[in-house]
Amino acid sequence: MIEDFAELAAAREELDAAISEWAGSMEEAWLAADQIWFSASAGREVTAPRALLVTHMFNHQTHHRGQAHALITRAGEKTGDTDLSLVIPAIVGGGFRPS
């Protein structure tokens, strides 16, 4: 476990860069193939489409971010807006467009 926040942030940036590089190297033929592995949790060999597994990896990160958010807010900290409709316009400029 990393206790120093600066060290944690640096490790997170390094891992994010590695994930981005890996995702950018995906080829359709590789994604279209099945992945076969032994699942310790299922206790058997399983097969799934790689594209589904890659999607699951990114989607599961959202689950863990939600868990972290719940712990942070439960500890009484304010997290600010987390809705992309509010966060992204603030980052790139602009905002909601009137309907």
To the question of pTM greater than 0.85 for the whole model, the response is: no
Residue 99 scores a pLDDT above 60: no
Residue among 44, 45, 27, 28 nearest 36 (CA): 45
90 or 19, higher pLDDT: 19
Question: Percentage of the chain with pLDDT > 90?
Answer: 75
Residue 35 DSSP label = E
Residue 85 confidence (pLDDT): 76
> Rounded to 10 degrees, what is the CA torsion of 12, 18, 20, 21?
160
pLDDT tens digits, 12-60: 999 999 999 999 999 999 999 999 999 999 999 999 999 999 999 999 9
